[in-house]
């Protein structure tokens, strides 16, 4: 349920409404517009009397939301949410590309990765400092030191960074290094305590779909974040687990148009984890953009053959640049644009599989 106030309602009147809602044992979420205010009522509203709040002279109307995921539903908000990161929009007409390695390895590797992202013209850089791995014996990430390597490399090129948060105990580290977008990975999609904690922040969140999660479960996980007050949420489809074993995961392209109809949140796609092989990334990326995705989360590495994790699905700098050119053509056909910087020739950095090993 949400209450829409009349234009120029005062803060005192909003406080009166909040008090009435809290007396009913419910919570409020305030969305301030230029003229009107929308007050979301969170909780079990089935016992709220019909016509409640309409007797207040500053209330324009009261609407109910039938979906279990109230705040993230299209019923609650008709207009698309555009999440802005340092002024860069995710959602809307622009399609944003987030690129970088699976794991943060060394300062030299991250410097080369940042150069490759800039050379391709992308606006965001990704990198894993904390790594959830299936085997306890594989590289788990450098932790806080990895955050330092990531942020320092990106800072030189003014690139906003995306990295995965696995544990509520590490939130202070993410805030210390001013991580621009916190990623909640597939294994933590239903870590409700973690979702509640990032819901208390104002930092944008990429919420990846669980490997076997339904759309409803995924949106209910997003609702946990929104219910905490953080509506800067970006949904990321990364492929789901099925009986098929020919490739890593099955990219659910159908989820993209369905989500665009069901929710107002931006939707991006991770083609790298879906296919699991670098040669599949281009086709899956093009399909995702054609289906309406607002961006892509792509793994790239200066030397994929030497990557400490998931090198088989990482693009080289040249492949990343070539893919950006392909995506730009598809975006134009759809009446959209790639969010991009001025493209720099990749040869200026001599980054590819043929380059020398990076210092450990």
Question: Above 80 in pLDDT, residue 310?
Answer: yes
The pair of three-digit structure tokens given for residue 29, joined into one six-digit string:
């979420």
pLDDT, tens digit, 9 for 90 and up, residues 89-144: 999 999 999 999 999 999 999 999 999 999 999 999 999 999 877 788 777 778 99
pTM, whole model, 2 decimals? Answer: 0.86
The domains found in the chain, sorted by start residue, are: 2-63 (3.30.70.1140), 83-348 (3.20.20.70)
Phi, psi (5° rounding) for residue 51? Answer: 85, 5
For range 291-301, the mean pLDDT: 98
**d(Cα 188, Cα 7) in Å, to the nearest integer?**
41
What's the whole-number average pLDDT of the chain?
Answer: 90
Residue 148 DSSP code:
H
* CA angle (196, 202, 207) in 5-degree steps: 55
CA distances from 152 to 99, 125, 172, 201, 351 (A): 16, 12, 18, 23, 19
How high is the pLDDT of residue 223? 94
């Amino acid at each position: 349920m949400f209450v829409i106030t009349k234009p120029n309602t005062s803060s005192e009147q909003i406080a009166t409404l909040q008090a009435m809602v809290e007396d009913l044992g419910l919570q409020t979420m305030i969305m301030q517009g230029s003229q009107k205010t929308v007050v979301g009522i969170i909780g079990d509203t089935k016992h709220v009397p019909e016509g409640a709040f309409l007797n207040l002279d500053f209330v324009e109307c009261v609407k109910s939301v039938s979906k279990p995921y109230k705040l993230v539903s299209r019923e609650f908000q008709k207009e698309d949410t555009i999440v802005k990161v340092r002024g860069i929009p995710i959602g809307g007409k622009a399609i944003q590309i987030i690129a970088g390695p699976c794991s943060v390895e060394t300062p030299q590797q991250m410097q080369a990765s940042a150069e490759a992202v800039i050379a391709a013209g992308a606006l965001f850089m990704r990198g894993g400092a904390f790594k959830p791995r299936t085997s306890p014996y594989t590289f788990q990430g450098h932790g806080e030191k990895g955050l330092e390597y990531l942020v320092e490399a990106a800072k030189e090129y003014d690139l906003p960074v995306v990295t995965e948060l696995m544990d509520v105990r590490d939130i202070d580290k993410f805030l210390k290094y001013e991580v621009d977008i916190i990623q909640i990975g597939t294994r933590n999609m239903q870590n409700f305590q973690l979702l509640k904690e990032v819901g208390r922040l104002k930092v944008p969140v990429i919420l990846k779909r669980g490997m076997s999660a339904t759309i409803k479960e995924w949106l209910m996980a997003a609702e946990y974040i929104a219910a905490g007050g953080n509506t800067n949420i970006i949904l990321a489809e990364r492929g789901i687990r099925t009986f098929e074993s020919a490739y890593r995961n099955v990219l659910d392209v159908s989820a993209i148009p369905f989500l665009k109809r069901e929710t107002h949140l931006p939707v991006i796609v991770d083609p790298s984890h879906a296919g699991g092989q670098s040669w599949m990334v281009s086709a899956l990326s093009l399909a995702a953009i054609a289906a309406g995705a607002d961006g892509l989360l792509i793994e790239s590495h200066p030397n994929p053959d030497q990557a400490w994790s998931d090198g088989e699905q990482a693009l080289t700098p040249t492949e990343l640049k070539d893919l950006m050119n392909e995506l730009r053509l598809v975006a134009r056909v759809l009446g959209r644009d790639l969010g991009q910087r001025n493209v720099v020739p990749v040869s200026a950095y001599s980054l590819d599989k043929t380059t020398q090993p990076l210092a450990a």
